[in-house]
Amino acid sequence: MNSETSGASRIWRWFSLLAFAALALYVAARLGVFALTGEIAAPSGDIRLPNTFASVDHPFHVARAETLWRELASGRVLRWVGQHQGGYPVEFYPLGAAWLEVLIRAVSLGNLSAQGAHTLAVAAVFLLPGAAFAALAKLDGWPAGVGLLALSLHVSLPGGWYHGGYTELVQWGLVTNVTGSVAALLALPALVGFLRAGEKWLGALAAIFAAWAVYANPRSIVGLAALALGAWAAVATMRFADAAADESRGSSLTALRRLTLVTSISMLLAAPLLTALIRFGGFYQFVRYSGYEDWADYATASVSAVSWPVFALGLVGLAFGFSSRHRVATRAAAASLIAYAIFTAAIAFAPWVSLLAPQLEPTRLMPLQRYLVVYFAAVAICAALERLSSLVPLAPTWAARAGAVALALAVLVIQTRPLPGPAPDPASTVIPPVSLYPVDMSAQPQQFDLELAVRAADEAAAPGTAILVLGSALSWHQQLWAPMWTSRPLFYDNWLWYWQPDHAGTPGYRFGAGHHYPDPEATIDRAYLERHGIGGVVVTGAAREAAARSPLLEPLAAGLYDAYKVLDPVTTVTFADANAALLAVRNQSIDAVAESPGAPVVARVNWHPRWTVRADEQPVPPIRLGSGYLAARPQRAARTAEFRYAVEPLDWAARGLALVGVVGLVWMVWPRQRPDRSGARWYARRSDRGGGSTGYA
């Protein structure tokens, strides 16, 4: 490569980096990264509130990250989320995405609010596919325009509810599903590099991304399996450009050993989660909201996720990927996409496969498929630009690259332009025509009013009781912001997600119909309030009138949300018919002292096998009540009770396995001898011949 060509390559490399940075800054600005607070008018004057996404599921995720932050600040690892509708074990809704928010908040030295960290985390997850696209392109010597164009298509095509684009992540707030898919995608280029060249730091990186994908959402295991199969198949079947190359290093057996190493370490890192799911997965029940009716439905969803033109281009790029025998990363992505489509179809349509994962909705697998299709569409477009450039006499060598960058920016501007009229409705199944459209944000008067009401109920409610939050004035699940302002147990009329069918709700509640009360006014009832230990009520909407006329409630504050104190409440823990005089309710422990000794002892917390009970310092077998709650029957009336969410021997063993995984990571990256760079030399030889820098053949 002559100095002139080398200089031009450096210029284009820096230009591409600037284009990537400009695109990322533009998207970040549109997502509100530079507006983490907002000013509202309040009765006491203008105030500033934390500002983040408030539509659909976002409140749930912000509150979970805040709960994790508080537990870590108290020196505890969060294993049981006790505030949400009686509580749930974290393995049933893992914290991989919440850990990202906590990490961002820690890097800010705690200066960021939970809401600000959430905004940055969502923006990062939205843009991170670009890093995977760029890495895949670099591995095979594609110009940077491939990665840039793929990222532009990704952020510019909003997709639908379950497609992994802007609509799913930002409008619907399905953060864990998208985070798991993105983490799996990031593992692919690292895995290909390790399998091909044996660079151990790449293997360690692949294991970290794979473990993160599992912790973000266990359904990511399906995608990881497809990516592992695709990477191995590509490396095992590739042809070497240099006959003198050490083919044994790229043999199927060597690649299989390396794949086994990465898989083992990633599964060891995820052992605490996987072990718990294997042990207790039978207790987990999930309401399946969606699925594919038939093959045509799946095909339609595949097209809708990216649009007809991009899907067609993706098929062209997929065929090109299979024909590129020397471009191992492209070939790995192609094999992975085919394997993933087969896995998705098997889960959707093969009864014996779906029985192995009865809780898995196949529609939730679409994001990873979308990312791979988008990447192949970019490959096809850039290859076409290169071919057109070669047909034009006297065309400069940089024409195809310039065309790719220009097209990426044009797609971004056109597909993210503001449109007149109201913002798209989350309830609509119509895919919006553009991306980056407005969504509900949290710096709103409704949010400030909810905070005031929750704080009022928290201050006035009897110690050791829960708070019931009814109705939403902002988006669908505004109730779920309540953990930001109280540490009490919380109950809702629409709580988004639940894991067992035993909840004793209102007369109209049915587990299979979804996690909401169709008759929220029926919660303002003596039996319901006592059953769940409610001491305060915050209400707006349909149940407001019932609360206002109820003799069971004492008004505290009025506004968009009204706050009430429950008269003569029942505490979270009771001894026979007596309340607890002293009660400390935390996520993983409850300590109660009775007003008068009694038995049985009932804790209004969801039963789980890990809960242990001691009454008057003596161990007592825990009992699962028909309501799903936890109880114990000591032999004589008890004055004290201790409930502990225990770390069992198998939990300690799983933690030990995770520690072994960490040791494995250290072993992989610890310098011992000169790394195996046969693969790097192979790519360098291709680059020297020009085949790895501009060629598309």
Between 7 and 437, where is the model more confident? 437
Task: Tell me whether residue 253 is exposed, middle or buried, using C-beta atoms within 10 angstroms of its C-beta: 0 to 12, 13 to 18, 19 or more.
Answer: exposed
Position 402 pLDDT exceeds 60: yes
Model pLDDT for residues 610-642, shown as the tens digit of each residue: 999 999 999 999 999 999 999 999 999 999 999
Contacts of 248 (CB under 8 A, 6+ apart): 254
State the pLDDT at residue 670.
85
Question: Which parts of 88-129 are beta strand (E)?
Answer: 88-89
**How many whole angstroms separate alpha carbon 674 and alpha carbon 293?**
54
Between 418 and 10, where is the model more confident? 418
Between 673 and 521, where is the model more confident? 521
* Average pLDDT, rounded, for the chain: 89
Residue with tokens 């596919």: 129
**How many whole angstroms separate alpha carbon 190 and alpha carbon 340?**
18
Least confident of 178-192, 346-360, 485-499: 346-360
CA distances from 300 to 39, 292, 366, 377, 511 (A): 43, 10, 12, 18, 30
Model pLDDT for residues 86-132, shown as the tens digit of each residue: 999 999 999 999 999 999 999 999 999 999 999 999 999 999 999 99
**How many whole angstroms separate alpha carbon 89 and alpha carbon 1?**
59
Least confident of 182-191, 285-294, 574-583: 285-294
Position 8 pLDDT exceeds 50: yes
Preceding peptide of 600 cis, ω within 30°: yes
Model pLDDT for residues 356-365, shown as the tens digit of each residue: 777 788 999 9
Q: Residue 288, by phi and psi: left (phi above 0), alpha (psi -120 to 50) or beta?
A: beta
**Which two structure tokens, joined as six digits, stand for 664?**
């494995």
Model pLDDT for residues 21-51, shown as the tens digit of each residue: 999 999 999 999 999 999 888 777 788 999 9
Give the pLDDT mean for 401-405. Answer: 82
H or E segment to which residue 451 belongs? helix 445-460
**How many whole angstroms separate alpha carbon 259 and alpha carbon 261?**
5
State the pLDDT at residue 396.
67
**How many whole angstroms separate alpha carbon 188 and alpha carbon 379?**
17
Percent of the chain with pLDDT over 70: 92
State the pLDDT at residue 324.
75
pLDDT band for 422, please (50, 70, 90 cuts): confident
pLDDT band for 244, please (50, 70, 90 cuts): very low
Q: Would you tell me how many other CB atoms lie within 10 Å of the CB of residue 545?
A: 12
Percent of the chain with pLDDT over 90: 75
* Partners of 592 in the β-ladder: 583, 641
Q: Would you tell me how many other CB atoms lie within 10 Å of the CB of residue 627?
A: 18
Domains of the chain, by residue range, sit at 23-32+117-238+248-276+307-419+648-697, 445-570, 574-646
Contacts of 483 (CB under 8 A, 6+ apart): 63, 66, 67, 83, 84, 490
**How many whole angstroms separate alpha carbon 586 and alpha carbon 605?**
11
State the pLDDT at residue 299.
95
CA distances from 24 to 17, 131, 423, 437, 490 (A): 11, 11, 23, 16, 38
**How many whole angstroms separate alpha carbon 217 and alpha carbon 192?**
23
Q: Would you tell me how many other CB atoms lie within 10 Å of the CB of residue 293?
A: 10
State the pLDDT at residue 322.
81
Model pLDDT for residues 280-301, shown as the tens digit of each residue: 988 988 888 888 999 999 999 9
**How many whole angstroms separate alpha carbon 126 and alpha carbon 123?**
5
Model pLDDT for residues 639-688, shown as the tens digit of each residue: 999 999 999 999 999 999 999 999 999 999 887 655 454 444 444 444 44
State the pLDDT at residue 352.
82
CA dihedral 99, 105, 109, 111 (to 10 degrees): -160
**How many whole angstroms separate alpha carbon 514 and alpha carbon 506?**
13
State the pLDDT at residue 79.
96
Specify whether the CB–CB gap between 494 and 427 falls below 8 A. Answer: no
Query: Helix (H, G, I), strand (E, B), or coil: what is residue 670?
Result: coil
**Nearest partner of 468 among 494, 445, 490, judged by Cα:** 490
